[in-house]
Each structure stands twice: as structure tokens, then as C-alpha cells.
């Protein structure tokens, strides 16, 4: 690849053969609307489930935090980067989630990578739901252990793979709410199996935290299970950025001692930790926003029942519509944009081949009018597209 990058003509030809993706520079993303090239769209692609990324109280916290603690943490946690604010946020998170320890990370991707890279040694084995997020699958694949990917949400597939393996230690990976499918993992049977075979279970709850369960404590609380390790992110419902890993004292101490991501990376700014602490306060109190989101999900499901399109049986805020064909999904997404609706098309390899989709994400800011408009446009554009396809 480096060789190709040095021959600039080659790289363009090489990239064009792949699925070319572009980053779009947005002007603003506020109150459910996203502004791009001076045009506003209703944002149906945001992970800001409760609209907290523009919450005045949390913005104020960020400013106050910056005034009080400065903006950079100026060192890793072992040098001078770890402050009283980090410590109190970790304690509060651990108590909220019912774990001995919470360890802060700069992002969810880093948190997952750190845990997997630190815990997995040669002759260990990892069983991951095959639809798991890249931040789980990539470090698992690159680890010295052996990775098995079991069929999505199929406990029997997990069991079969486990009983035909012979590794020393076992780690099972899954998500609370699957990011591209929106469905929930059957956490209770997975946890029971994990206990039975003395495995560790890590649940990545990036999309469940803040949204599901009492006080927004997420998928595990919602399903009444306590896995060995939970990863939560502050980049979605919390509306900020950063992540934490929740676990018992032994696992936490091991991670703190041996994680290269903690040792050799600058800690989260204290002002950010302070902001997350304030966001946590509002997350705990936000049953009203969670019920608004739930009402929107119910409303969307009711209204979309008659669509000629395939929904994914998801009950969460993530509502993918499976289109199948890459080109058709991309075209539909572009046409929806012309109608003022921002919905990204998700194509392979992010999702399995022939399963390109429109990934609709609902939030608490959407109104019933927004949803009506979305359904109407989906119906209209899809029918028009189908008619054209038949003509060709």
C-alpha cells in the first residue's frame, strides 16, 4: 500500500475500484437539523438519541470546566493527566452501573481495543457475534488469541463453536443494541453460558447506555444481567465524547497496569470529564426524553407497517430499512436528501453483501410530523424507483 501511495495515479485507480466514500463537512448540527452547503435537513442519522449534544446545561458545564481546569490534561494517567474530576467521575459511573470500577478512555473504540489487547494472550480464544462493531472485531482479529465469529444472536452457534474449540481462556463479545441492525442481544442466555464455561463476557453498550433501562443504565440493566465487563460510550446518548469500561477490581487493576492505551496516551481533558459528569446527572433524570424517544419509535413502527420496504424487526432507535442493492440504496439516500431528509446508506463491507440499507436513527427531538414526512417520502421515492427499474 505504501508503494502505491507513492504513485499518486495508482492510488486513485485503486480507490475507484473500491467503494469510494467521502467525508461531508457539515456547517451545523443542532436541534435535530443538520446544515450542509447552506441547506438544512432533518437529521435521521444522528446518534444524539436524547438531543443532549446541544443541551445548554451541558454546554455550560464544558465552558465552566475549561475555565476551571484548562483544556488539555497534559499527560497520561500515570504522569499528571489523572485528576480528582476523573476519579470522581469514575466512582460515580461505577456506583451508577453497580460495578467495583469504571475506567475512562478517550473513545469507545480505544476502550474496546484496550480491553481486548490487554486481556487476550496466546492460546486464549474469543467468540464474537459476527455483527459486532469493528472496535471489537479488529482487535480480536489482531490479538494473539483465536477469533471465532458466531452467527448473529444465535446462542447455539456460540455453543457449537465453543465445544469444538480448545483454547485456554475464553472471552465472549457482543453488543447490547447492534449498531447496524438495531436489534438486542439475548444477553441472559449468553451470560448463563459464559458463566457455565467460566468465560468472561464483554458487552459493548454504545447504543443502549442512556437510552434503555432505569436511569438510562442500558441494555444489561434492562435485561437484568451483569456481565463481567461493559463498555459504555459518552459519544452517543450522552452527547459528548469518551468512554468507560466497567468491571470488577481484579480486571480493572490488570487493565490499568497493562493497557498500553492508558500508559502511552494523554488522558481525557479534565474539563471533558467534568462535562460528562454533568451529562450523567441529566441522563439519570431524563426519563421524559427516553419516553419521548420511545413514543417516536412506536410511532415510526406503526406508520411504517404499510411501507413496501423491509424493516429489520428492530425495537430500538436504530431502524434499518434493508434495500439490498448498493446502487439502489445510495440513490434512495440521495433522493431523500433532495427532499430534505438526511439518511445515510450503509453498504458492504460495513454490512453483509446484498444487505445495503438505509439506516434510520430516531431521537427524542423528532416530531410526529418529521416521521410522517419521512414515511411519505420513503413511500413515494421507493415506488418511483421500483417503477423505473421495471421499465428498464
Ligand X SMILES: *Cc1c(COP(=O)(O)O)cnc(C)c1O
**Which sequence positions are flagged as catalytic?**
47, 133, 175, 179, 204, 207, 236
Q: In a 10 Å sphere around its CB, with 0-12 CB exposed, 13-18 middle and 19+ buried, how is residue 122 labelled?
A: exposed
Dist. CA 189–CA 274, nearest whole Å: 37
Dist. CA 385–CA 184, nearest whole Å: 32
**Cis? peptide before 69, omega within 30° of 0:** no
Segment contacting ligand X (CB under 6 A): 106-114, 194-202, 208-216, 292-300? 106-114
Q: Which residue of 129, 175, 181, 228 would you call a contact of ligand X, by CB under 6 A? A: 175
Site string for ligand X, 112-141 (x = CB under 6 A): ---------------------x-x------
Helix, strand, or coil (residue 373): helix
For residues 204 and 228, which CB has a smaller minimum distance to ligand X in the complex?
204
With cell 442481544, the residue in question is 185
The three three-digit cell numbers of residue 105, written as one number: 478512555
The least CB distance from residue 316 to ligand X, in Å, is 12
Q: Which residue of 90, 204, 228, 370 would you call a contact of ligand X, by CB under 6 A? A: 204
The three three-digit cell numbers of residue 197, written as one number: 464455561
Residue 43, C-beta contacts closer than 8 angstroms, at least 6 positions apart:
29, 32, 33, 34, 342
**CA distances, 144 to each of 47, 120, 258 (Å):** 33, 7, 16
Segment contacting ligand X (CB under 6 A): 48-56, 89-97, 102-110, 328-336? 102-110
**How distant is the alpha carbon of residue 157 from its chain centre?**
24
For residues 255 and 381, which CB has a smaller minimum distance to ligand X in the complex?
255
Segment contacting ligand X (CB under 6 A): 32-40, 101-109, 186-194, 321-329? 101-109
The least CB distance from residue 87 to ligand X, in Å, is 21
Q: Which residue of 29, 45, 54, 107 would you call a contact of ligand X, by CB under 6 A? A: 107
Tell me if 207 contacts ligand X by CB under 6 A. yes
Q: How many residues bind ligand X (CB under 6 A)?
A: 13
Tell me if 108 contacts ligand X by CB under 6 A. yes
Nearest alpha-carbon partner for 193 in 235, 160, 239: 160
CB-nearest residue to ligand X = 108
Which residues of this protein are in contact with ligand X, per CB under 6 A?
Answer: 107-109, 133, 135, 175, 179, 204, 206-207, 233, 235, 243
Amino acid at each position: 500500500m505504501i508503494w502505491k501511495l507513492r504513485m499518486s495515479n495508482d492510488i486513485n485507480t485503486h480507490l475507484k475500484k473500491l467503494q469510494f466514500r467521502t467525508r461531508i463537512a457539515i456547517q451545523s448540527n443542532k436541534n435535530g437539523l443538520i446544515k450542509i452547503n447552506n441547506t438544512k435537513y432533518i437529521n435521521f442519522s444522528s446518534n444524539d438519541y436524547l438531543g443532549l449534544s446541544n443541551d445548554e446545561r451541558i454546554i455550560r458545564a464544558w465552558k465552566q470546566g475549561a475555565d476551571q481546569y484548562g483544556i488539555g490534561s497534559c499527560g497520561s494517567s500515570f504522569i499528571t493527566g489523572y485528576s480528582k474530576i476523573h476519579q470522581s467521575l469514575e466512582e460515580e459511573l461505577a456506583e451508577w452501573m453497580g460495578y467495583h470500577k469504571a475506567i475512562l478512555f478517550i473513545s469507545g473504540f480505544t476502550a474496546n481495543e484496550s480491553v481486548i489487547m490487554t486481556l487476550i494472550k496466546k492460546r486464549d480464544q474469543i467468540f464474537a457475534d459476527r455483527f459486532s462493531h469493528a472496535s471489537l472485531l479488529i482487535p480480536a482479529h489482531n490479538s494473539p488469541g483465536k477469533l471465532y465469529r458466531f452467527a448473529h444472536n444465535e446462542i447455539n452457534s456460540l455453543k457449537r463453536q465453543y465445544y469444538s474449540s480448545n483454547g485456554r481462556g475464553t472471552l465472549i463479545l457482543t453488543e447490547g443494541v447492534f449498531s447496524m441492525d438495531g436489534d438486542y442481544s439475548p444477553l441472559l442466555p449468553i451470560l448463563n453460558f459464559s458463566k457455565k464455561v467460566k468465560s468472561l463476557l464483554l458487552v459493548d453498550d454504545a447504543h443502549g447506555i442512556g437510552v434503555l433501562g432505569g436511569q438510562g443504565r442500558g441494555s444489561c440493566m434492562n435485561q437484568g444481567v451483569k456481565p463481567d465487563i461493559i463498555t459504555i460510550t459518552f459519544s452517543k446518548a450522552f452527547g459528548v465524547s469518551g468512554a468507560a469500561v466497567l468491571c470488577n477490581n481484579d480486571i480493572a487493576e490488570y487493565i490499568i497496569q497493562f493497557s498500553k492505551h492508558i500508559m502511552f496516551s494523554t488522558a481525557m481533558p479534565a474539563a471533558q470529564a467534568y462535562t460528562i459528569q454533568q451529562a450523567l446527572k441529566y441522563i439519570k433524570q431524563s426519563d421524559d426524553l427516553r419516553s419521548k424517544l420511545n413514543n417516536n419509535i412506536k410511532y415510526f413502527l406503526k406508520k411504517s407497517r404499510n411501507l413496501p420496504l423491509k424493516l429489520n424487526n428492530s425495537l430500538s432507535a436504530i431502524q434499518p430499512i434493508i434495500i439490498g442493492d448498493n446502487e439502489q440504496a445510495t440513490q434512495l439516500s440521495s433522493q431523500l436528501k433532495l427532499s430534505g431528509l438526511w439518511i445515510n446508506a450503509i453498504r458492504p463491507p460495513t454490512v453483509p453483501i446484498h444487505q445495503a440499507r438505509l439506516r434510520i436513527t430516531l431521537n427524542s427531538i423528532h416530531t410526529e410530523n418529521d416521521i410522517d414526512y419521512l414515511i411519505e417520502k420513503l413511500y413515494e421515492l421507493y415506488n418511483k424507483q421500483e417503477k423505473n427499474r421495471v421499465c428498464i
